[in-house]
Amino acid sequence: VERYVGPGVEIEDNEAVGGGLGMLFERRYLKTTLFVCLFWALSVIPYFGIYTFLPTILAAMGLAEDLAVDVGLNLVLIAGAALGILLIARMRRRTLSIGSFAVCTACLLALALVPGSQGGVLIGAFALFTLTIAAESDLTAVYPPEVFPTEVRGSGIGLATGASRLGSAAGTFLLPMAMGALGLSWTMGIMAAVCAAALGVCIAWAPETKDLALAGAAVACGRNGELSRNMTRLRGFGRL
């Protein structure tokens, strides 16, 4: 402390607060827990489902999977991931999440409703969906650490990760069944409904954590008053 802050500075001892899985379902953390789990799970259902069975989707759209198509889609995915990094640095988290799911819903609706004869429209909608879902997926590395307070952050991220794995498993299990039984249009309509559900979750519960310190983001997401007092002490400490 003396080396990096200066002499005469004391750091008060604080009792460590343990956080178990049960704390995530207490009233003060319940909305945050539900938001992160649903946000993450609903985002990976169409992502994993569609791209695991991409050849089937492309064939239903009248496209043959070849090297050019594979390289093109992978380049779009890379561009989307890079775009997501830039947007996270520049846009508000809430705006980005809502906007991303709105675009994904519109693209999947286009795939569900546009006739197969409109190949250019289908390809454009699918490319835009690919770009957007790749950009949106970057938020899954940002939102969970920001919205959970320190004492439950590990448990919260672990639970949300588990929820996302359930979502990805559901998507990869159900999509080929839907394609076989219902066809492309209905399957894309169901995926659009999933994205619309994610959009509703974000509109209802997505917090805004951009430009907030990690502790401040937790306060914005419903922390109790004790952390607010701790933040005040930390700000004072930082000015010393």
Mean pLDDT of the residues in the chain: 84
Say yes or no to pLDDT of 92 above 80.
Answer: yes
pLDDT of residue 19: 64
Helix axes 67-90, 119-137, angle to 10 degrees: 50
Distances in Å between the alpha carbon of 53 and those of 33, 105, 174, 184? 30, 19, 11, 12
pLDDT of residue 238: 45
Question: How many residues appear in the chain?
Answer: 240
Say yes or no to pLDDT of 156 above 80.
Answer: yes
pLDDT of residue 222: 57
Give tens-digit pLDDT for 163-206. Answer: 999 999 999 999 999 999 999 999 999 999 999 999 999 999 99
Give tens-digit pLDDT for 24-74. Answer: 888 888 999 999 999 999 999 999 999 999 888 988 888 777 788 888 899
Separation between Cα atoms, residue 12 and residue 3, nearest integer Å: 18
Residues in CB range of 180: below 8 A, 6 or more apart: none
Say yes or no to pLDDT of 207 above 50.
Answer: yes
